[in-house]
Amino acid sequence: MPILWLLVIIQIVLAIRVLTRMIRSASGTSIVVDPRAWIHARSISVVVPVLDEIGRLGSCLEKLIGCGTEVREILVVDGGSTDGTQRLAASFAAIDPRVRLVDASPTPAGWNGKAWNLECGLLASSAESVWIATIDADVRPRSALLGAMVNHAERRQVTALSVATKQELGDIESGVVHPAMLTTLVYRYGLPGNATTRMDQVQANGQCFIARRDALIATNAFAHARTSVCEDVTVARILTRAGHSVGFYEAGELAVVRMHDTWRETWTNWPRSLTLRDGLTPRETLLGLAEVVFVQALPLLLVELLILTGNQHALRSVPFDLNLILLMMRLGVLAGTRRAYRNPAWTYWLSVFADVPVAIALIASALRRRHMWRGRALVMSERIT
């Protein structure tokens, strides 16, 4: 069948890309606490962008105020919350003078809310700070996290880095959906633990990110990301475009996050940014989606279909052998990404069955021209200058 052999050729080409990427990134490093490290006092300004985070901000701020003298200030930048988030931030400011509420509302036209909050936080930060750390309200950082991030950045000589945070799943169904989505990043960008100056290879996670303040200002990175639905990756791409090295590393239990409470929230919200589409790397974005479809999602489906034919010739064919190998590779990746989760349910091992629906969801999200976040329409433009 000519179509089947064409599919095989496409799979081989894309699988070589994916496998090469994984091998190249396999020898990465992780962020660890070095008790011998010395971090300059008051060198970090922490920016926490929020919008209606009353249920999650408290635990995040409790952890942040436990950080050491390396933290100069903790700026809670609010985009117009109506649920009491501002009062909660003010109560922490009364406990620790480093905490300060910055009112960033209303978000101006032509900006998405989070990018605007980050820009306001950067502009409100002390000019004496060397580093800007952006921490989402759903992150529970250990007290040693920020110092360990700065130490790692200085030792690796990177301008910015972010953390592949350890994930805590909200319900048993999330054990199926979330890992299938996370795996799409591994297939498209490789394993965490490395730094790059290439815009098409950079990874980033805005949940837990740190960068030199002078580089963010010189590149105007947050402003460039004002219409991006994946502002964290866009900021990283802007930095690499300017010649800076940007890293992406695991940090174990130093940073734990529960992104969403239910699988439905994950399914509805994560594909919006998970496509990583911002117009800066259009070729790599399309190739990455093709890798997800042909190398991650289709092998299990094709193996099942060929088995169901009952044709012994089909079971001894190159298409069957190839897709069986790709399926084994997928299971190997599943075993490897297990460490990205804190006590996942048994359903984690079933996530391979969600690969096809996830691939469809990513394609649909990439084609969608209108996205919403907490009742607000997001500005979308691929004219990232």
Would you state the pLDDT for residue 237? 97
Rounded to the nearest 10°, the torsion over CA 107, 110, 115, 121 is -50
- Do 288 and 166 sit in the same domain of this protein? no
Q: What is the pLDDT of residues 254-264, one digit of tens each?
A: 999 999 999 99
Residue 152 lies in a domain: yes
Alpha carbon distance 61, 76 (integer Å)? 9
- Do 85 and 11 sit in the same domain of this protein? no
Instruction: Supply the CATH number for residue 69's domain.
Output: 3.90.550.10
- Asked if residue 324 lies in contact with residue 303, where contact means CB atoms within 8 angstroms, the answer is yes
Residue 79 lies in a domain: yes
- Do 105 and 157 sit in the same domain of this protein? yes
Residue range(s) defining the domain that contains residue 137: 44-178+190-262
- ∠ Cα 139 140 146 (to 5°): 90
- Asked if residue 99 lies in contact with residue 202, where contact means CB atoms within 8 angstroms, the answer is no
Tokens, residue 151: 């130490």
Residue 252 lies in a domain: yes
Q: What total number of domains does the chain contain?
A: 2
- Do 236 and 100 sit in the same domain of this protein? yes
- Do 288 and 256 sit in the same domain of this protein? no
Which of 211, 234, 262 marks a domain boundary? 262
- Do 171 and 137 sit in the same domain of this protein? yes
- pLDDT digits (tens), the chain, 385 positions: 678 789 999 999 999 999 999 999 999 999 999 998 889 999 999 999 999 999 999 999 999 999 999 999 999 999 999 999 999 999 999 999 999 999 999 999 989 999 999 999 999 999 999 999 999 999 999 999 999 999 999 999 999 999 999 999 999 999 999 999 999 999 999 999 999 999 999 999 999 999 999 999 999 999 999 999 999 999 999 999 999 999 999 999 999 999 999 999 999 999 999 999 988 999 999 999 999 999 999 999 999 888 887 777 767 788 889 999 999 999 999 999 999 999 999 999 999 999 999 999 999 999 887 777 666 667 666 566 6
Tokens, residue 63: 């952890």
Residue 184 lies in a domain: no
- Do 364 and 253 sit in the same domain of this protein? no
Residue 351 lies in a domain: yes
- Do 231 and 86 sit in the same domain of this protein? yes
Residue 33 lies in a domain: no
Residue 254 lies in a domain: yes
Helix axes 231-241, 113-124, angle to 10 degrees: 60
- Do 258 and 285 sit in the same domain of this protein? no
- Asked if residue 135 lies in contact with residue 48, where contact means CB atoms within 8 angstroms, the answer is yes
Q: Where are the alpha helices (DSSP H) in the chain?
A: 2-25, 57-64, 85-95, 113-124, 145-156, 174-189, 213-219, 221-224, 231-241, 263-274, 282-291, 298-309, 312-315, 318-336, 355-367
- Do 226 and 304 sit in the same domain of this protein? no
Would you state the pLDDT for residue 42? 95
Would you state the pLDDT for residue 374? 64
Residue 360 lies in a domain: yes
Count the Cβ atoms, other than its own, within 10 Å of residue 124: 15
Would you state the pLDDT for residue 383? 61
- Do 113 and 166 sit in the same domain of this protein? yes
Q: What is the pLDDT of residues 188-204, one digit of tens each?
A: 999 999 999 999 999 99
Predicted TM-score of the model (pTM): 0.93
- Do 238 and 304 sit in the same domain of this protein? no
Would you state the pLDDT for residue 3? 82
